Structure 1
Amino acid sequence: MTDPFTPEVVEQIARHMNGDHADDNVLIVRALGGMPSATAARVSGLDADAMEFAAVVDGIEVPVRIRFSEHLTERRQVRAEAVRMYRDACAALGEEPRH
């Protein structure tokens, strides 16, 4: 199977996530990425199976890959998966979702 996300699409999604949802990225990496001490996280890439983050843990940037709940075939599915990840992260951390 080919990846449905061109480099331009990945860049647009990353720019949106990093610009509008930087705090959400940190929660996702802490709860779902196994990095509870992450102090920052930015989307560094994605493909049809996962979103990739560059997380700062103990002052060091480390890669974190978090799988989607299913193989994605369309761009519109990324938003639903990002929202799901955020809500799952909030639930795991005992935080009330802000949106």
Structure 2
Amino acid sequence: MPHNFDDAARAGVLGHMNADHRDDNLLIARAFGAATAQSATMTGFDGDGGEWAVIDAAGRESALRVPWPGGAITERREVRREIVALYDEACRRLGVPPRPHD
């Protein structure tokens, strides 16, 4: 059974990803199974992976789940590491130069 993060962790991560990293959400969605995505919103995550709601060119919504590249996690600080790894891999797959990470 995957680790479930508390409400504060979920709200913090989802708020940050959907306010500050909309383009990253879209890159991740396109690289990991939703090639025609026009928009993507991170909707959840647990210890095994992240979840996005994806809207395609026809306006249809679907769910996308992507496992964490480094395997299962249990700590909030690990979520950032795994999302950054997904972003880097998405850039690699799509041929997009990644921006530097702080």
- What interval of TM-score do these two structures reach, taking the shorter chain for normalisation? over 0.9
Tell me how far 1:98 sits from its aligned partner: 2.3
Cα displacement string for residues 13-50 of structure 1 (whole angstroms, at most 9, x for unaligned residues) = 00000111000000001002x11000100110000001
Aligned to 2:24: 24
Q: Give the match's secondary structure for 1:89.
A: helix
Instruction: Give the letter aligned to residue 16 of structure 1.
Output: H
Aligned to 2:79: 78
Question: Tell me, which stretches of 5 or more residues in structure 2 are unaligned?
Answer: none
CA contact (8 A) 1:29 1:53 kept: yes
TM-score by length of structure 2 reads 0.90
CA RMSD of aligned residues (A): 1.2
Tell me how far 1:8 sits from its aligned partner: 2.3
* Residues paired across the two proteins, number: 98
TM-score by length of structure 1 reads 0.93
Please give the residue correspondences for 1:1-99 in structure 2 after superposition, counting only pairs within 5 Å: 3-32=3-32, 34-57=33-56, 58-69=58-69, 70-99=71-100
Identity %: 41
CA contact (8 A) 1:49 1:67 kept: yes
